[in-house]
């Protein structure tokens, strides 16, 4: 299969999955995000890999120990991006499946500590961001396809590790 065809197939899949998030739930005026827990430590060993298109040079994985589904409906996680040279970047993020949005709360610094984002904002999963890792994570297990978060961290991990068996 040539690279152009692979890109075309991935683009079609990306557009189709973006459609899952185009019909988001109406805003709930009473919804409030719970207090943000501090960024968890993460382990770059044992990451659960995200499937990304072949032209993406970074490898993305979710630290399973960082994964939570909170009462406010937000899936929070640490995503780790590793370059072919071994450079590591990590982000502490949240997903609102019902609204098709994600937010970056903190970035891991080269000094070995988290730098909290100043005034983090929710962004659409299907916007034109340069890396579609949040959308890939939503599609591969974090969101159940009906506009809600998966029931638990264990369910998300099961879906990510066994995509053929997931409903």
pLDDT of residue 163: 73
Contacts of 47 (CB under 8 A, 6+ apart): 61, 62, 63, 64, 80
* φ and ψ of 33, to 5 deg: -70, 135
pLDDT of residue 14: 42
Per-10-residue mean pLDDT for the chain, 167 residues long? 43 43 58 89 92 89 95 95 92 94 93 93 82 89 86 92 66
* Cα 161 from chain centroid (whole Å): 15
Tokens 């890999």, located at residue: 49
| Prediction pTM value | 0.80
Rounded CA gap, 67 and 19, in Å?
A: 25
């Amino acid at each position: 299969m040539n690279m152009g065809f692979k890109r075309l197939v991935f683009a079609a899949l990306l557009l189709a999955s973006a459609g899952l998030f185009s019909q988001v739930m109406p805003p709930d005026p009473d919804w409030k995000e719970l207090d943000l827990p501090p960024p968890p430590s993460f382990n770059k060993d044992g990451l659960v890999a995200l499937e990304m298109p072949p032209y993406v040079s970074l490898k993305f994985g979710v630290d399973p120990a960082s994964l939570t589904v909170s009462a406010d409906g937000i899936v929070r996680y640490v995503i780790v991006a590793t370059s072919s040279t071994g450079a590591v970047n990590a982000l502490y993020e949240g997903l609102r499946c019902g609204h098709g949005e994600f937010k970056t709360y903190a970035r891991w610094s080269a000094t070995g500590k988290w730098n909290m984002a100043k005034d983090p904002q929710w962004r659409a999963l299907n916007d034109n961001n340069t890396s579609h890792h949040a959308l890939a994570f939503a599609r591969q297990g974090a969101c159940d396809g009906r506009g809600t978060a998966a029931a638990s961290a264990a369910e998300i991990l099961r879906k990510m590790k066994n995509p053929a068996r997931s409903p």
